[in-house]
Amino acid sequence: MNMNDVKIRACTEKDNMKISILLRCMLEHMSDSGGHRVNPNETFWQDLPIKVRGTDRKCLVAGQNSELIAFVLANIQPLDNVFVPMQSLHINAIYVCPEFRRRGLAEQLMSQIFQWGQAEGCQQVDLNVLPQNEALRYYERLGFKVFQHSMTKELK
């Protein structure tokens, strides 16, 4: 695929199955890096409803025609009640197929999703990343900093 022919656009309901496949690839890669094990049930993945539209969420895909090679999924999360009220843009997932990495796609997707978040009144953006994930350094180059640590313990 010629990268000059790759276009970024908003997701549609027709993209659901392809996004589900990319999401599963991303989660399997995360599982290999110490993340949770991925649901092996094929029916689950075929029926997974990915909410791609809504006033508080945005999904962008990158590809050529119907072939998708990357996506970003984000939503707006209000902080209120015990905190000073503000809007935060949460990156739920971003994934670029391995053979298309290091070509600027993630940066383009993130730039567009940041612009959307700013236009919607968000003052910050956050995401979750495993400490072993090779994308950690990329996020740091974008200006992300550790805000809090999430810890787990197995119960036996």
Domains within the chain, CATH numbers bracketed: 3-141 (3.40.630.30)
State which amino acid sits at residue 13: E
Instruction: Look up residue 2 and give its two tokens.
Output: 């010629």
Instruction: Look up residue 62 and give its two tokens.
Output: 């990158």
Which ranges of 7-135 would DSSP assign to H, the alpha helix? 16-32, 42-47, 105-119
State which amino acid sits at residue 87: Q
DSSP-based three-state secondary structure for 30 = helix
Half-sphere exposure of 44 (CA within 13 A, CB side): 6
State which amino acid sits at residue 20: S
The DSSP H or E segment spanning 124 is strand 122-127
Q: What is the pLDDT along the chain (156 residues), one digit of tens a residue?
A: 677 788 999 998 888 888 888 989 889 988 888 888 998 888 888 777 776 667 889 999 999 877 899 999 999 998 877 888 889 999 999 999 999 999 999 999 999 999 999 999 999 999 999 888 888 999 999 999 999 888 889 898
pTM score above 0.85 = yes
Q: Which residues make Cβ contacts (< 8 Å) with residue 131, sequence separation at least 6?
A: 34
